[in-house]
Amino acid sequence: MTTDNIRTYDVIVIGAGPVGENVADRTTAAGLSTVLVESELVGGDCSYWACEPSKALLRPALLRADAAHVPGIDPAVKNPLDVEAVLAHRDRMSADWSDDGQVEWVKSAGIELLRGHGRLTGEREVSVETPDGDTVRLRARHAVAVCTGSRADLPPLPGIEALKPWTGREATSARKAPRRLAVVGAGVVGVEMATAWQTLGSRVTLLAREEGLLPRMEPFAGELVTERLREAGADVRFDVSVVAAERAGDGEVRITLSDGDELVADEILFATGRAPRSEDIGLDTVGLVPGDWMATDDSLTVTAVPGDWLYAVGDVNRRALFTHQGKYQARIAGAVIVARARGERLETGRWAPHSGTADTDAVPGVVFTDPEIASVGLTVREAERTGRDVEVVDYEIGHLAGALQYRPDYRGKARILIDRDRQVVVGATFAGPGVGELLYSATVAITGEVPVERLWHAVPAFPTISEVWLRLLETRRDS
């Protein structure tokens, strides 16, 4: 059945994950009527299949690793984790895959929710196929924001559909620990899920096509994670890829590797990258290619579509594939949509509220492994590639009194990159237990372009791991 009436709103937002919710919240708060279109659960991947459930699986693993090295506690953590309790905690953190709470928030914010699959049908027009088979036509007075995110990008392996592999969704929502788990991929999802399921009792084999783990970060980060995974019993292999895999009649996955070796696992997880969720949202009706990333300028306006009405916010634009960056972009996009609706001239300067500069200048990220990895800004490799003249300063975090209080055998490293011309920090990487909490200070230093000489007057408390900032400055002075 098709409804011919067209519903008109100021703003249409396709995708009700954290990004879409934030765009809609900003525009609604400014007085623009907004409808939020969602085909799955309100709250998106982050709430149900990514950030929340993955960290719920990892927290017990990391807490146990810390406690096992603290005198007086370690005997109490020798027994295996209570897997059922960990999975129950994961379920609670994922709201048992119910979006009732998120829907209630949407209503309380004054945002209209329309469930169904939204597709662009032309300029400022969207068609929504609802779960009961109806088609609802929408028109926007001012803007349409595409916030559909990304999905797992599976490799073109023959027979992969019949293989029924895990992606990140299955890895974070599994009902039990597989006895043998093969993880394909050296990035964040691969190493985090290898860490979680190895601790929960799986025998993990981690297969990396690269020469090390976490290849986009400083090499020492991947080396420390590799060391701990192997100590925990995982089989970590480099320079190898899967050339064939099949699921046998007994459910086992039989895997052939590029080096000629063969593996048998109960499940195989492919953590080999992301692709945009844009293949079936009507991009062809506005001159774009279905399935492509949607390029934008710093106002999150889609550059290839004239008229300044179409926005791509979050993962789907490929600027920075992090939930926190997507929410940052949502605040920018919301401000831009409101300003244009009011006929205001945009302020597009470097630090203006209508310009998304943090997607390139200071993108923070934490990898919740043992040890934690936290990074923001440039790495040495990126600085060399872009021709930036930087000074590299390293310090062993385990030399700090605060680190030794954390773990007597603390292993970790800090690195900052200083722009020689401007004398400001342009990159920072920390590897070690608890370093995720160091990241915001580094992000502020980079984003605020704080002169290195001024950092001497930001005094860290003793004994904390944040004292590493002082030691980095002293190391630079004494070198």
Under 8 Å between Cβ of 436 and 375: no
Q: Which of 301, 324, 358 is the last residue of a domain?
A: 358
| Residue 449 to residue 422: CA distance in whole angstroms | 9
Select from 371, 316, 334 the least CA-distant residue to 146.
Answer: 316
Q: Give phi and psi for 458, each to the nearest 5.
A: -95, 95
Number of domains in the chain: 3
Distance set, CA 260 to CA 76, 147, 243, 256, 274 (Å): 43, 42, 9, 7, 27
The β-bridge partners of 149 are none
Q: What is the CATH number of the domain that holds 448?
A: 3.30.390.30
Under 8 Å between Cβ of 33 and 172: no
- Measured CA angle at 244 (ends 241, 246), to 5 deg: 130
Same-domain pairing of 141 and 180: no
Under 8 Å between Cβ of 396 and 474: no
Q: Which of 239, 272, 305 is the last residue of a domain?
A: 272
- In which element (H, E) is residue 272 found? none
Residue at 66 is within a domain: no
Q: Which domain holds residue 308?
A: 2-48+95-151+275-358
Q: Let me know if 389 is exposed, middle or buried by CB neighbors in 10 A (0-12, 13-18, 19+).
A: exposed
252 Cβ partners below 8 Å, 6+ apart?
264, 265, 266
Under 8 Å between Cβ of 344 and 142: no
Three-class secondary structure of residue 188 per DSSP: helix
Residue at 413 is within a domain: yes
Same-domain pairing of 316 and 265: no
Residue at 440 is within a domain: yes
List the structure tokens of 328: 């940052």
Under 8 Å between Cβ of 247 and 163: yes
Same-domain pairing of 422 and 297: no
| Residue 126 to residue 116: CA distance in whole angstroms | 11
Residue at 74 is within a domain: no
Same-domain pairing of 281 and 418: no
List the structure tokens of 320: 């920075």
Residue at 347 is within a domain: yes
Left if phi > 0, otherwise alpha if psi is -120 to 50, otherwise beta: which for 83?
alpha
**pTM exceeds 0.85 for this model:** yes
What distance, in Å, lies between the first and last C-alpha atoms of the chain?
74
| Residue 172 to residue 180: CA distance in whole angstroms | 16
- The total of other beta-carbon atoms located within 10 Å of residue 222's CB is 25
List the structure tokens of 100: 């009732």
* Dihedral, CA of residue 57, residue 62, residue 64 and residue 69, to nearest 10: 170
Same-domain pairing of 38 and 139: yes
Select from 237, 148, 260, 232 the least CA-distant residue to 190.
Answer: 237
Residue at 125 is within a domain: yes
Same-domain pairing of 310 and 291: yes
- In which element (H, E) is residue 255 found? strand 253-257
156 Cβ partners below 8 Å, 6+ apart?
none
Same-domain pairing of 258 and 315: no
Crossing angle for the helix pair 51-67 and 83-93, to the nearest 10 degrees: 140
Same-domain pairing of 417 and 451: yes
Residue at 332 is within a domain: yes
Q: Which of 214, 240, 272 is the last residue of a domain?
A: 272
Same-domain pairing of 244 and 286: no
Sequential pLDDT tens for the chain (479 residues):
344 589 999 999 999 999 999 999 999 999 999 999 999 999 999 999 999 999 999 999 999 999 988 888 877 787 889 999 999 999 999 999 999 999 999 999 999 999 999 999 999 999 999 999 999 999 999 999 999 999 999 999 999 999 999 999 999 999 999 999 999 999 999 999 999 999 999 999 999 999 999 999 999 999 999 999 999 999 999 999 999 999 998 899 999 999 999 999 999 999 999 999 999 999 999 999 999 999 999 999 999 999 999 999 999 999 999 999 999 999 999 999 999 999 998 988 777 889 988 888 899 999 999 999 999 999 999 999 999 999 999 999 999 999 999 999 999 999 999 999 999 999 999 999 999 999 999 999 999 999 999 999 999 999 999 999 999 999 999 98
Q: What is the pLDDT of residue 4?
A: 56
Q: What is the pLDDT of residue 2?
A: 43
Same-domain pairing of 335 and 455: no
List the structure tokens of 42: 């309100």
DSSP 37: E
Residue at 68 is within a domain: no
| Residue 183 to residue 188: CA distance in whole angstroms | 12
Under 8 Å between Cβ of 61 and 81: yes
Same-domain pairing of 284 and 255: no
Same-domain pairing of 23 and 138: yes
Q: What is the CATH number of the domain that holds 41?
A: 3.50.50.60
| Residue 374 to residue 363: CA distance in whole angstroms | 11
Distance set, CA 82 to CA 49, 173, 195, 201 (Å): 21, 17, 16, 10
